[in-house]
Structure 1
Amino acid sequence: MDGTLDAAPKPRRSRPVRVADEIKQWVVERDLKQGDKLPNESEMITLFAVSKGTVREAMRILEAQGLIVTRTGPGGGSFVGKVSADRAKSLLANYFYFQDLSLADIYQMRRVLEPEMAASLAGHLTPAQLDELQALAERYPTPARSADEEKEQHIASLEFHARLSDFSGNRLMGFVIAFMARILTDLTVYRRLYDPPNLQLWQRGRDHQLRLVDALRRGDADAARATMASHMEGAEAMMVAQEAQLAKRFMGE
């Protein structure tokens, strides 16, 4: 023996899975776009030299992945689909269900990414985009008076960050930041909401968002970066103060 361990054999992939991959490669090679029509079932059987049942199962796999859309009636058939951002986020969140993802993990990422995104957007947003962010930052001008209202304010704050990510020119960065905002919105459980409300943290969070919009409006990348970095520290401190944790459940689309 040479002291090395043999790699574990890969599980055998079923024929429908292999055909689904072949169909995807067929679409890529022809540079098909969203909405382009795919061959009908009989043509698929001939193209890939498989049975009707295999083709149907392969198409069901692709439809479940959001890569094809099937329509019935006149002009119907199977068409190239596009995976929605919501579906991608749900699938990714459900993957992390088994990874013991923590709020500390999320904020470690947020502290790195969000200040850089903010800096990259300074001076590059339209007046309409800036006004939309301003309105989100100003949505709650007074502290929460109940647990329900406090939760609403948390969600509104995350909407601000999700919307900011929509404006990012770096689609990967924007997606990751929006994904984290979605996780925090859908899966966070606050154990000490309104126990009592921390007025200082509320004021700090609101002021940071307003200062960030001002920096973005002025095109001051350094100020935008510093403001967002400080905001992330405060947001994490609020989560700790309220004993927030991620719920152990799957996330829907």
Structure 2
Amino acid sequence: MIADRRLGPGDLIGTMDDFRDRSGYGRATISEAARLLNDRGTVEIRPGRGGGLFVARSSPIVRLRHTLLTVRKMPATVADAIAVREALEPLIAADAARHRTKQDISDLRKLLTQLKRATSSTDRFMRANWALHERIAEITPNHLAKAVYLGMTQCISDLSAHADSDDAGRTEDHLRLRLDVHTELVEAIVSGDLARTAAAVERHHAPS
């Protein structure tokens, strides 16, 4: 129906009553189908007067496309995990800049080197990227923030995979751009400069 009617984000597809009338299925079946479509990021369910099923708007899940990932299942859950992780990143990075030790700096530089060596493979790059962010999170003395951040990273990793691109040159360019972003993030943390670190986090979150 979305394709046939050329509906766009935010457009009404129909009400639950509409779908029951069209399909002949019961309320429970229609509700479960709607829930599955919502979890997959296809539709948005709006309850109450004027509610129904609407074409899903862009959400934090779009950030997976910027990182060359695709969602295997439960996109709404992954979107939530991304939102929580991004909300924590300024705190995690600032703590890393404040509390990094010589060993932390050595480990971050080694992981950054691994990231540089992985720019020819999307899968290797993303694994190295996650490893780097996990190591940054390990520096914070805030155990609760660390646990939540690492849990969100694990959730994103478990429910997504790298997305192969038909344009290898464009993919490589994208990975090199992401490498530059992560290089600045590491250098900002190593410098201990909080303002520079905050700017690096903001750049890290920006679409590319």
* TM-score after normalising by structure 2: 0.57
2:89 aligns with 114
| Alpha-carbon distance in structure 1 between the residues aligned to 2:132 and 2:202 | 15
User: 5+ residue gaps in structure 2?
Assistant: 1-73
1:163 aligns with 135
| Alpha-carbon distance in structure 1 between the residues aligned to 2:81 and 2:206 | 12
Structure (1 or 2) with the greater helix fraction: 2
1:19 aligns with none
Counterpart of 1:196 (choices 153, 167, 192) is 167
2:155 aligns with 183
| Alpha-carbon distance in structure 1 between the residues aligned to 2:203 and 2:136 | 17
1:215 aligns with 188
| Alpha-carbon distance in structure 1 between the residues aligned to 2:123 and 2:201 | 21
Q: Deviations over 1:125-166 (max 9, x none)?
A: 111111101111121425644xxx321210110111111111
Pair 1:116–1:193, CA change in 2 (3 A): same
Report if aligned partners of 1:114, 1:229 keep a CA contact under 8 Å in 2.
Answer: no
1:123 aligns with 2:94: no
| Alpha-carbon distance in structure 2 between the residues aligned to 1:194 and 1:173 | 34
Q: Which amino acid aligns with 2:151?
A: F
Equivalenced residues, count: 134
Q: In percent, how many aligned pairs have the same letter?
A: 23
Q: Which amino acid aligns with 1:126?
A: T
1:102 aligns with 2:77: yes
| Alpha-carbon distance in structure 1 between the residues aligned to 2:134 and 2:161 | 19
User: 5+ residue gaps in structure 1?
Assistant: 1-98, 238-253
**Alignment RMSD, CA only?**
2.4
| Alpha-carbon distance in structure 2 between the residues aligned to 1:206 and 1:113 | 21
Per-residue deviation, 1:106: 2.2
| Alpha-carbon distance in structure 2 between the residues aligned to 1:205 and 1:179 | 23
- 1:41-190 matched pairs, under 5 angstroms: 101-141=76-116, 144-145=119-120, 149-190=121-162
Report if aligned partners of 1:111, 1:233 keep a CA contact under 8 Å in 2.
Answer: no
1:40 aligns with none
Pair 1:144–1:207, CA change in 2 (3 A): closer
Q: Deviations over 1:58-87 (max 9, x none)?
A: xxxxxxxxxxxxxxxxxxxxxxxxxxxxxx
Pair 1:200–1:103, CA change in 2 (3 A): farther
Report if aligned partners of 1:122, 1:219 keep a CA contact under 8 Å in 2.
Answer: yes
Per-residue deviation, 1:193: 1.5
Q: Which amino acid aligns with 1:215?
A: A
